[in-house]
Amino acid sequence: MGELKLMKGNEAIAEAAIREGVDAYFGYPITPQSEVLEYLMAEQPEKRTGMVVLQAESELAAINMVYGAAAVGKKVLTTSSSPGISLYQEGISYIAGAELPCVIANVVRGGPGLGTIQPSQADYFQTVKGGGHGDYKLFTLAPSSVQEMADFVSLGFEIAFKYRTPVMILSDGMIGQMMEKVELKEQKPRWTDEEIKKMHDKWATIGKTPDRERNIITSLNLDSAIQEKHNHKLQAKFRKMEAEEVRYELFNTDDAEYLMVAYGSSARIAQKSIALARAKGIKVGLLRPITLFPFPEKPLADLTPQLKGILSVELSAGQMIEDVKLAVQCKVRVEHYGRFGGMIHSPEEVLTAFEQTFIGK
Amino acid sequence: MKLQEIIKEENLVYKRTPLMTDNVLSYCPGCGHGTAHRIVMEVIEEMGVQDDTIGIAPVGCSVLAYDFMNIDMVQAAHGRAPAVATGIKRTWPDKFVFTYQGDGDLAAIGTAETIHACNRGENITIIFINNGIYGMTGGQMAPTTIEGMKTSTSPYGRDLQLMGNPLKITELVAQLPGTYFVARHSVHNPAAVRKTKRAVQKAFQIQKERKGLAFIEIVSNCNSGWKLPPVKANQWMVENMFPFFPPGDIKVDGELVKKE
């Protein structure tokens, strides 16, 4: 068993990054995720593992420092929160287009605009439906505990390097700020320069040696026919993720007549709502998507025949509900419930909304 | 004497560096970019560091620099090259890292990245091509367009009241404690080319010795954007740009050069 600690979600991401053997972190302060940079600066990981930590002058600079470090085959992490992630979008589009691996965490706060510093899940569209320009998909992991904040750092890098793609950890202010018990992994060594050369010399810009052609990291193809071919290659990667990388969790769905679909902090709340419903004899289950892209379409479609209704529970005005509807293809009624703008629904509020919607009281 | 007798190894006075690829340059005839590319590649070849050099191409006319420079290269988003270079150099300090940027990229949209990379003293080399215009997009006004200069977005000449002042970003970065060597040169004649090459050699040597950031501005021409034939463009540059952007060292060994 690994070391047990009581930590904030933001601290857990930072500590997990050091233990994962991450090479660099670049970031810019923004509430509610500044603890990541603060923890790293206090911890001085350059002394523990040689990991580089740098506070950038802006989110624009931070994401482009990530782009640079990723281009030379390094494991690089950045974190921010909603308005900062909006500024990352140009860089994320370039990273996706140039096929670079990196992990980005968004500790989401309420918007639009400067919004609020309280938790929200209103960045679902921005994350899953694009965000930046062009045809790309962002592999998205949604942690619902401090433990998953730590675990998804390793999983994120595994996916990022397997597909050479940016990975988003879509958290929120509640998961980032709350303290929970977390089991930390053993320290992994950072890759040596020789290991990076061995693994990534085919594509990384680590210096042209006489035995190979020069490597170029770019998202530019002025020849549209080549750009279309490149896009086909990207789409094939996204289809492979859809086929092989879907992750989700089911609670009380065996006999369920109704289903709640919720991710992240909303899934924690919905679990409690379901317990309250079950105590009243209402057979409700929960599907918690862990990957938002790829979305667990099939497991949702498979459950549909036994269901009388689905409630998509989100801390937003209703964003994931669109993917839930697409998955069930109008075969069952789908409704949304959620507080937003930084407000958090209680388990009782969710249950009341569920009963009013589907039971009729 | 027959031609074949002249073409001999011992008579060779110039050859193209193998660090330039065989691709035909996409720049307009007479443009200074080709010469500037060659200077940087010659210096890398002469230092024998091709294996360990990573270049960053900007957005602008030199966006395709990686088609011509036979080294590993990264193409950056508009203005962000110094941040990309920072990400590489910080994680791999043994590598030689340089950015190659135009005036719109470096001195307008990328002003923050330029100033902060210079101020942090990132141990990188910045090559800054200043031709006073946005060439790639068809000749719009740049941050370095001088007073009265006509461009497609200042068709009656740059009006300082309306459009603001041209920016001397090189003098600006020279004020920052993180810059170790700051110089301005040109590539319009052989003497200028030799001076530029010496400055670029010095810049890479400074990087090798980990002394800090070296920033080389190359005042250049844009025949197409300026709507002048190459020779006249260079004359116009000397007569009109040099008074505002005077060539010479601005900061040497971390000390500002005192003016007479």
Note whether A65 contacts B76, CB cutoff 8 Å: no
**What is the Cα–Cα distance from B60 to B78, expressed in whole angstroms?**
8
pLDDT at B259: 77
Name the closest residue on chain A to residue B90, using Cα atoms.
Answer: A52
The yes-or-no verdict on residue B135 having pLDDT over 90 is: yes
Name the closest residue on chain B to residue A65, using Cα atoms.
Answer: B87
**Residue B98 structural domain:** 25-256
Task: pLDDT band for B13, please (50, 70, 90 cuts).
Answer: confident
**What is the Cα–Cα distance from B238 to A34, expressed in whole angstroms?**
51
Residue A122 touches partner B, C-beta closer than 8 Å: no
Note whether B66 contacts A216, CB cutoff 8 Å: yes
Note whether B90 contacts A24, CB cutoff 8 Å: yes
Q: A61 contacts in B (CB within 8 Å)? A: 80, 83, 86, 112-113, 116
The yes-or-no verdict on residue B260 having pLDDT over 70 is: no
pLDDT at A112: 97
B103 lies in some domain: yes
With DSSP H G I counted as helix, E B as strand and the rest as coil, what are the percentages for chain A, rounded to 5? 45, 20, 35
Name the closest residue on chain A to residue B112, using Cα atoms.
Answer: A57
Note whether B80 contacts A66, CB cutoff 8 Å: no
- % pLDDT > 90, chain A: 99
| B1 compared with A290, residue with greater pLDDT | A290
The yes-or-no verdict on residue A361 having pLDDT over 70 is: no
Identical fold for domains A3-184 and A248-359, yes or no, is yes
Computed on alpha carbons and rounded to an integer, the radius of gyration of chain B in Å comes to 18
Residue A282 touches partner B, C-beta closer than 8 Å: no
* Reported ipTM: 0.96
Domain count, chain B: 1
Which tens digit of pLDDT belongs to each residue from B186-236?
Answer: 999 999 999 999 999 999 999 999 999 999 999 999 999 999 999 999 999
Q: A54 contacts in B (CB within 8 Å)? A: 86, 90
CATH 3.40.50.970: does it fit domain A3-184? yes
Task: pLDDT band for B67, please (50, 70, 90 cuts).
Answer: very high
B8 lies in some domain: no
B7 lies in some domain: no
pLDDT at A262: 98
The CATH number given to whatever domain includes residue B234 is 3.40.50.970
Q: What is the mean pLDDT of residues B53-67?
A: 96
Which tens digit of pLDDT belongs to each residue from A193-225?
Answer: 999 999 999 999 999 999 999 999 999 999 999
Burial class for A304, CB neighbours closer than 10 Å (0-12, 13-18, 19+): middle
Pick the closest to residue B255 from B170, B171, B181 (CA basis).
B181
Return the minimum-mean-pLDDT range out of A41-50, A287-296, B13-22, B140-149. B13-22
Residue A61 pairs with which residues in a beta bridge? none
B246 lies in some domain: yes
Q: What is the mean pLDDT of residues A108-126?
A: 97
Longest Cα–Cα distance in chain A: 75
Q: What is the mean pLDDT of chain A?
A: 97
Task: pLDDT band for B44, please (50, 70, 90 cuts).
Answer: very high
The yes-or-no verdict on residue B250 having pLDDT over 80 is: yes
pLDDT at A130: 82
Q: How far is A133 from chain B (nearest CA, A)?
A: 13
| Partner residue facing B116 (CB), from A61, A98, A216 | A61
CATH 3.40.1800.10: does it fit domain A248-359? no
B12 lies in some domain: no
Domain residue limits, chain A: 3-184, 248-359
pLDDT at B168: 98
Which tens digit of pLDDT belongs to each residue from A10-38?
Answer: 999 999 999 999 999 999 999 999 999 99
Q: How far is B156 from chain A (nearest CA, A)?
A: 33
Name the closest residue on chain A to residue B73, using Cα atoms.
Answer: A216
Pick the closest to residue A271 from A179, A328, A182, A350 (CA basis).
A350
Which tens digit of pLDDT belongs to each residue from A125-163?
Answer: 999 998 999 999 999 999 999 999 999 999 999 999 999
Q: How far is B197 from chain A (nearest CA, A)?
A: 22
Q: How far is B50 from chain A (nearest CA, A)?
A: 6
The yes-or-no verdict on residue A359 having pLDDT over 80 is: yes
